[in-house]
Structure 1
Amino acid sequence: MSLFAWLRPNHSPLTDIQRQRLAQLAAPVDWHDHNLRAQRWVVLDLETSGLNLNRDQVLSIGAVVIEDGAIDFAQQFERTLHQPDHKTSPSVLLHGLGPSAIAAGCDPVDALLDFMDFVGDSPLLAFHASFDQRMLARALKDNLGYKLQHGFLDVAELAPLLNPAVVLRDAGLDDWTACFGLQAAERHHASADALVTAELALILFSQARRQGLDSPLQLEQRLGNWRRRRQMSHSF
């Protein structure tokens, strides 16, 4: 499918340079059979104006890279997006992105192009990945007319899958980081949350290898079985 297959509503047309950058973005590759340690992963965290997937906006993007089995501190990403129609909401008490920070942010088109160029053909990791995936996909569609097709793994699912003896009901990132003795430098800050999520992911990947799961495909297959068992247990 063409990168331009989705229309870009309610926004000014892309400039020639932006269209060139969009056309040059790398397509995602098949990553399922790769070795976990060899795979380059982009660990993503978004700060948003709220939790409504259809109405709220992406305010900031933070990401770090796991490569060769370690966090590569030379590959980090952070952008605050300028959203001129953004209205201050209670979420500002969590992420601290007030009107002045949003007003000083980057053009969303350029910020999203920068981010997808940073991602390249790599899959993404996030905590509660379905939310980040859907918010990012909508931002890319609305601003660039781009359809997100990169693979995602959810660290919030990997943690209980690989640690069945740990009982944490409705566990969030704080719960799992505390479980493993990790500390975020600054919670609800996209870059800091991405970093601590990457640290947690490395612990989980190490556990996965010890359990004989050494590829994303094996993890996805085990996750599928785990989800089905949970659904069956909840149906009784």
Structure 2
Amino acid sequence: MREYVTLDLETTGLEPAKDRIIEIGAVKVMDGTVTEEYATLVNPQRKIPERITELTGISDEMVQGKPCIGQALTELLDFCKELPLLGHNLMFDYRFVKHNAVNLDMSFEKEGMDTLKLARILLPDLPSKSLQSLRLYYEIPQDDAHRALEDARTTYRLYERLRQEYGEQHRELFNPAPLLYKVKKQGPITPAQKRYLQDLVKYHRIDLNVESDSLTKNEASRLIDTILGTYGKIER
């Protein structure tokens, strides 16, 4: 029995240590057929950059009242269970999930398959290996590009098409491989950092674009340094 979960995320940026997940889409597949789907918007507890809203259509208003990352990851890990993952440029999504999982004391060790890697090997002459370029090449229908669940569905359809076309000749390429990414846990903002940050914000009359309680210790340190470099110290 061939079973896997296709995963796709939308995020506020490209760096797991600095940026936040804002949408999760996952599709469970058994023997080529979708059996279950999971999708949720995620409240990043910070302002979503305008360029990300323009790209994804996801706004600050849309994520208000949605689950924060702890609840969303608990649901995702329960959905995935022990199944291997599928993704397009899978390590991007895996790094974000694992980074958050480690900070929340959750385990997320996976094997996976990557349609981007498959396309680079099997379709070397195509000028672009982006998900949307490959979707157009194979005439795969899609409603909303750059939304997590729709991109996960497209990735699943692309993988099954590639497997149908090349699976017999290149069986080894379609086997899950371990996803290797080590993450060091980042502790939460300390009480002393939180007090100092609140004092800086009040003194300089700054509107923060992030909820301080959601910051890690490293994020808080970088934010404090940025404020000090921009506005200066508190003069007593």
TM-score after normalising by structure 2: 0.69
Aligned to 2:107: 147
TM-superposed CA distance for 1:169, in Å, is: 3.1
Residue 3 of structure 2 corresponds to residue 45 of structure 1: no
Distance 1:170 1:177 in 2: 11
Aligned to 1:16: none
Q: CA RMSD in A?
A: 2.1
Deviations along 1:91-128, one digit per CA (max 9) or x if unpaired, are 11111111111212113211111110000110000101
Aligned to 1:163: 123
Q: Which has the higher contact order (CA 8 A, sep 6+)?
A: 1
Distance 1:83 1:49 in 2: 8
Deviations along 1:14-63, one digit per CA (max 9) or x if unpaired, are xxxxxxxxxxxxxxxxxxxxxxxx22110011000011232111111001
Q: Any gaps of 5 or more consecutive residues in structure 2?
A: 179-236
SS in 2 for 1:112: helix
Aligned to 1:200: 158
TM-score after normalising by structure 1: 0.69
SS in 1 for 2:171: coil
Aligned to 1:62: 25
Q: Any gaps of 5 or more consecutive residues in structure 1?
A: 1-37, 221-236
Count of residues in Structure 1 that have an aligned counterpart in Structure 2 = 178
Structure 2 counterparts to residues 175-186 of structure 1, below 5 A: 175-186=133-144
Deviations along 1:120-160, one digit per CA (max 9) or x if unpaired, are 11000010111111111112122x21232111211111123
Distance 1:103 1:218 in 2: 36
Residues 162 and 207 in structure 1, CA contact (< 8 A), matched pair in contact too: no
Residues 53 and 135 in structure 1, CA contact (< 8 A), matched pair in contact too: yes
Structure 2 CA distance for partners of 1:163 and 1:87, relative to 1, 3 Å: closer
Structure 2 counterparts to residues 62-211 of structure 1, below 5 A: 62-72=25-35, 75-142=36-103, 144-164=104-124, 167-211=125-169
Sequence identity (%):
24
